Structure 1
């Protein structure tokens, strides 16, 4: 054979083998792990978000320094179950009809099947694509065991259902639903002491002792320990570790040391300007009523003038408590073999009012209720400590994680991948996002504006850049009509009926309005 031909053939074979080897190596590159941390009822009172001047969240702040903060992230629905169903299914409430919490056990049992006909839940999608999926604590509304009969499709392993059997402990909360939220204050809480067993009595707070906790620890400490144990194990396949914390959900109880962080007497308390509720439409006023008979604000002020300060201090203590639990999980990850190949995402299902707009719950379409922390930390990313003020939705988390983990695209998802922002956080994407509360009440949030429309046609408009606390409703000002019309384009054109109901039903908002037509609006809402 001609020596030149021999050399050419040899080189071709060598290049082919090298190419095959490179392809083989590429296939062997490990997919990133995911630590997926959900926090219940955490509003934008995180240090780096600069919404409360004295809040202490060193672990979340450190994570933000290592990653990217979405400072203008918003829930799809401002209540636990509807928000989590939306994020974990990747579908809007207007698609699923899941607009609020559903307490009926029979309805909850068919949730999985009904949503599954539309799309796979996020952990199930990861499991179907080669990931081991681990779940701890409150990820779905009732925890990882919300869909017990289908748990094997969602999880490789998970925490057991969290149950309290101590009847004295349960008695302190008058058998409030949701064992993970205990302990209550030993005396049942401030509302219970003043008004007895009323609906909404969980709006209370104070330090609790270890002896009054299940096994001497709170639910979130138990969840953190389980997650840490998983991070200490050897994993032969990529993993998705979901970690769900219940605080700072009511009751606002935590160990004494977290209350000691807020011992000073002059910490910031949200204020309501005189006459602030006058320009709020009728259904907006109904939203402010909350859960307690007669209205949350009336009951809070009925306890005494110091009670708002007690609630704010207790909420801050719970924030610092859950921040400490997040810190323990993140520290375990940093010390594990998986530190350099793990995506961390931290999110809250919705916010929480502490008196703004005379509101003391979530379940509104205003900033304290819709705006949530959303933090991504990516392995080997050069974009550290970046903050973006583009409006984004929690619906965007699902498609973003698929992109980051290079998993097959799920065409049914209704959110948008955040990869353009993660890659270029300094470049504005000019996005608008939708939040829906109950049937046919919506908020559209842009980078600078919020537009609200209620089911009866009532409207609100706020220029967040100059009015971040949404004190002045600009809807009647003609010079902003073009902005309103632009934002209105993002209202949904179609809406599913409320889940498992063939017809639209009356809810408490309609009931309040009907009552006021006969008896007048409560003075504190005027």
Structure 2
């Protein structure tokens, strides 16, 4: 062999060896669960819950005992988490605000991973489905269809629930998880970012009867909800609680226990679907090279503070599960009591994957807490519900200020149920001032409300598009 060819051969061999030595970027399994509060075994929010699969996932990594949403309703919570832009920056405060015209396609988490060479696939509810933007994804499961509908009784007013005489396979979660399983079983040329969004326990709590049977009605214990709990809550908080709405209807119906049973049943059904997904991952050759993050988009009230659903700034509506499993970083069976919010998910994923975090991201990586769950941590969580309504949560306190100036202050160590509002007591003035200093100072005007069927032209006019070049 002549010298030039010999050197060329050596160069190609060395290049091949170097490429072979480069570690593959970790895959990501990104699991979203809709309307799931702390009624899961690993958070001990309700002793009646049955969640063996969520519990085994938590046992594989780090569970966060104090994790909070950016907004206590689907659309703004998910838009903020996925794009890295908080509600008070984007103006996306409600389920009627279309986030797409004001947050450009170069900002979301999906785009960042695609630019880094990932195959980005998704199924189910990741964003609020009224305002989906499928162009962000390489692959997305078409609509999984609708669930079977019950015949006869369907619940109490707007609180919808009924057992179904059908199979798990008849519900859309099954199809969403099937897509995830197929992706995990495929051979991918690129690293995989796989997002699986489970709809339940979002209402209606219509799931196969066997999940209701796991929670016998005569064994149901109701949440603690003192009837005088709103006596020290200011008018703005009472307006959010709306005690004369769903809660009054539930009390008059005498079916509070049935509704609690139904929510527990929906959680157990979803837990089973998560188990199927975890089994598929465990059978995959990529099991040990896959980051898992599971999050709920916000919490849920079931009568606490005479309120049902989300839509408040209290603990029940703002706290949700957060689990991380990061090979080589997390340790099995660990827990963190540090306060985080879900704006940390985007920068933590990019940090773990070795991808630069875009400058616009309004959150901080919690990689240090994944490695050492009790590491020093000075951050707090902020939850926003509507223009100028915010809650600040630290490890020991919750401070709420509403747009009209009404305030609430809770000592979470002495009063974890938030039954005693301390905001008007002079001895807590200094504590309140320190927490108030953590409130956002810039609050973007609300994006125009519209339904998904309407065009976006009016929203684009006169509104800055974040991230637009």
Q: TM-score, normalised by structure 2?
A: 0.89
For the structure 1 residues 485 and 299, does the alpha-carbon distance in structure 2 shift closer, same or farther, using more than 3 Å as the test?
same
Specify the alignment match of 1:116 in structure 2: 104
Specify the alignment match of 1:127 in structure 2: 114
Aligned CA-pair RMSD: 2.2
Helix, strand or coil at the partner of 1:49:
coil
Specify the alignment match of 2:29 in structure 1: 35
Specify the alignment match of 1:209 in structure 2: 165
Specify the alignment match of 1:370 in structure 2: 318
The answer to whether the 8 Å contact 1:53/1:268 transfers is no
Q: CA deviation at 1:433?
A: 1.1
| In 2, Cα distance between equivalents of 1:27 and 1:87 | 34
Helix, strand or coil at the partner of 1:461:
strand
Specify the alignment match of 1:137 in structure 2: 124
1:158 counterpart (129, 140, 150): 140
Helix, strand or coil at the partner of 1:457:
coil
Specify the alignment match of 1:446 in structure 2: 394
| In 2, Cα distance between equivalents of 1:341 and 1:320 | 28
Deviations for 1:280-311, whole angstroms, at most 9, x for unmatched residues? 01010000128xxx5111221222x2x11111
| In 1, Cα distance between equivalents of 2:164 and 2:201 | 14
> Structure 1 segments of 4 or more deviating over 3 A?
20-23, 182-185
| In 1, Cα distance between equivalents of 2:323 and 2:17 | 34
Deviations for 1:137-187, whole angstroms, at most 9, x for unmatched residues? 0111117x812xxx23x11111002444xxxxxxxxxxxxxxxxx444322
> Aligned pair 1:275/2:242, yes or no?
no
For the structure 1 residues 388 and 22, does the alpha-carbon distance in structure 2 shift closer, same or farther, using more than 3 Å as the test?
farther
Q: CA deviation at 1:251?
A: 1.1
2:82 counterpart (67, 82, 88): 88
> Aligned pair 1:297/2:283, yes or no?
no
Q: TM-score, normalised by structure 1?
A: 0.80
Deviations for 1:311-354, whole angstroms, at most 9, x for unmatched residues? 11100011111011011001100101110100000001001001
Unmatched segments (≥5 aa) in structure 2: 1-9, 450-469
Specify the alignment match of 2:432 in structure 1: 484
Q: CA deviation at 1:382?
A: 5.3
| In 1, Cα distance between equivalents of 2:424 and 2:184 | 55
The answer to whether the 8 Å contact 1:353/1:368 transfers is yes
| In 1, Cα distance between equivalents of 2:58 and 2:322 | 9
| In 2, Cα distance between equivalents of 1:96 and 1:346 | 25
Q: CA deviation at 1:190?
A: 2.5
| In 1, Cα distance between equivalents of 2:205 and 2:217 | 18
Helix, strand or coil at the partner of 1:43:
coil
For the structure 1 residues 126 and 382, does the alpha-carbon distance in structure 2 shift closer, same or farther, using more than 3 Å as the test?
closer
Specify the alignment match of 2:62 in structure 1: 68
> Aligned pair 1:258/2:214, yes or no?
no
Q: CA deviation at 1:112?
A: 2.3
The answer to whether the 8 Å contact 2:145/2:172 transfers is no
Specify the alignment match of 2:152 in structure 1: 187
Helix, strand or coil at the partner of 2:117:
coil
| In 2, Cα distance between equivalents of 1:183 and 1:450 | 41
Helix, strand or coil at the partner of 1:299:
helix
Pairing 1:323-338 to 2, within 5 Å after superposition: 323-338=271-286
> Aligned pair 1:227/2:174, yes or no?
no
Deviations for 1:94-152, whole angstroms, at most 9, x for unmatched residues? 000000101xxxx74xx3242117x5111121112100011010111117x812xxx23
The answer to whether the 8 Å contact 2:337/2:374 transfers is no
Q: CA deviation at 1:455?
A: 0.9
* Deviation larger for 248-257 or 89-98: 248-257
Specify the alignment match of 1:146 in structure 2: 132
Deviations for 1:404-434, whole angstroms, at most 9, x for unmatched residues? 0001221110011011211221223132111
2:410 counterpart (438, 457, 462): 462
The answer to whether the 8 Å contact 1:365/1:442 transfers is yes
| In 2, Cα distance between equivalents of 1:436 and 1:270 | 25
* Deviation larger for 474-483 or 66-75: 474-483
The answer to whether the 8 Å contact 1:57/1:320 transfers is yes
Pairing 1:377-388 to 2, within 5 Å after superposition: 377-381=325-329, 383-388=331-336
The answer to whether the 8 Å contact 2:148/2:170 transfers is no
Instruction: Return the structure number with greater helix share.
Output: 1
For the structure 1 residues 280 and 23, does the alpha-carbon distance in structure 2 shift closer, same or farther, using more than 3 Å as the test?
farther
Specify the alignment match of 2:4 in structure 1: none
| In 1, Cα distance between equivalents of 2:151 and 2:416 | 37
Specify the alignment match of 2:368 in structure 1: 420
Helix, strand or coil at the partner of 1:389:
strand
> Aligned pair 1:497/2:434, yes or no?
no
Pairing 1:99-110 to 2, within 5 Å after superposition: 99-102=93-96, 108=98
| In 1, Cα distance between equivalents of 2:220 and 2:398 | 28
Unmatched segments (≥5 aa) in structure 1: 1-15, 165-181, 193-200, 502-526
